[in-house]
Structure 1
Amino acid sequence: MKKPKKITTKFFLNTLLNPVELPGGDWGYPLYVQITFNRKNTQIKCFYGKYYSQLDQVSATDPYLLPFEERNFRKMMNFEVEKQGDLLDMVGLGKKYEKYCTSIHLLFSNYLKARLQSEIIRAEPKKFAEVLDYQKPKVDFFTILDAAIRLFDNVELIISEDFQQEIEMYRLYCALYRAELQARDYSFPTVIDWINGTHYEALGEKLAQHFGDGAHEPIGKMMQTINRIVFHKLESVS
């Protein structure tokens, strides 16, 4: 059997880019990784990294970050190599990585925020329609929904039945993964975990424990909904 090609990763601060001034007056540079495979390499900006004056500051300030980023880079490479083999084109992997390392929780939340924004058009009074900011990534969907209910008179009446079902699916998902979402060790599931099958299987097991093994309909709806959201996100980078 042919020995698989080795995948290597090396983190570095990209000093070729313009620095930003850090608190204290030092200059910081973005965290990057160089990935080498089959004598080809590419450099990708770390999605969760910040700006640092020295590389050793990364582990000192956030000890879980580099292991998490490396796991995701390797998951991405293994997935892409399995699809394309030695002919893997390294160009464009950076854009793919931005999608692959996104948490399922954030993806689900952003999807629901976008849908709420489209349905809130019919809410009264209309003068509040432009008040809510749906784009802030750190503002969870339920915070936006709670604000909408307080601002408008008829939000709960105009939300469609299928949208309400998706809201309850997201509520359940957050409950099932509460520990992972609250932890600071980057243990939350990501898009690459879904498409390589590991999170798909793990969620299926959690849902079977929650609903019971025979509850095929609610389990199937949940899995299909997340699958649709994930692959809609990936369409632009396929």
Structure 2
Amino acid sequence: MAPAEAPAPNTLTAAERRQGWRLLFDGTTSAGWRSAKGVAFPTHGWQVANGALTTLAADGKESANGGDIITAAQYRAFDFSFEFQLTPGANSGMIYFVTLAEQTPGSPIGLEYQLLDDARHPDAKLGTNGDRTLASLYDLIPAVKPAACQRPIGAWNVGRVVVYPSQHVEHYLNGVKVLEYERGSPAFRTLVAGSKYHVWPGFGEAVAGHLLLQDHGHQVSFRSLKIKELR
């Protein structure tokens, strides 16, 4: 039997709909997303074209062009899958459990699935043991990426974050689990204490939060953003 074809971008299969998946991007509009610094979608720095939601290249600064965008809704436990396409040297992130409570000058803080061109961007060599590389929990836990799950820059990749009601969290890259941790555990809090996040009490332990796509001044595209809430 031939393998089933992958669904077209920004669509759900009948099985996914039965399982409770919902699209967070319709492929043609910015519906469901807004600026992290306002109630409307950014007027510049982002575009919706060719079935993708794209943060445009500027000067590589964090949240300084169109700014970050967040989901209108907040989520507690979820399975979130997203496709992303990096350009050479690109840096971005998908940040979860964003509450906007910290009033940071750049990107709002939260738990970050790092999006990075590891070979070209200097951030890959910073941090500890590679914890700022692609698919890592930024500045906390490095992703262990076998060659089979790595694709060249310019190809579409599938990122995935699963947060269980138990607070067990998993990161995936192109179908391969690359890290896992327990949100709020002693081990997690020890990692936070040794990171740049130590200045924020209770970092990463919000009950619920927005999902965020980061503007870091590089062109990065997103599509097939879909979520299933877990209970």
In the superposition, the TM-score normalised over structure 1's length comes to 0.31
Higher RCO (C-alpha 8 Å, min separation 6): 2
Greater C-alpha radius of gyration: 1
Which structure shows the higher strand fraction? Answer: 2
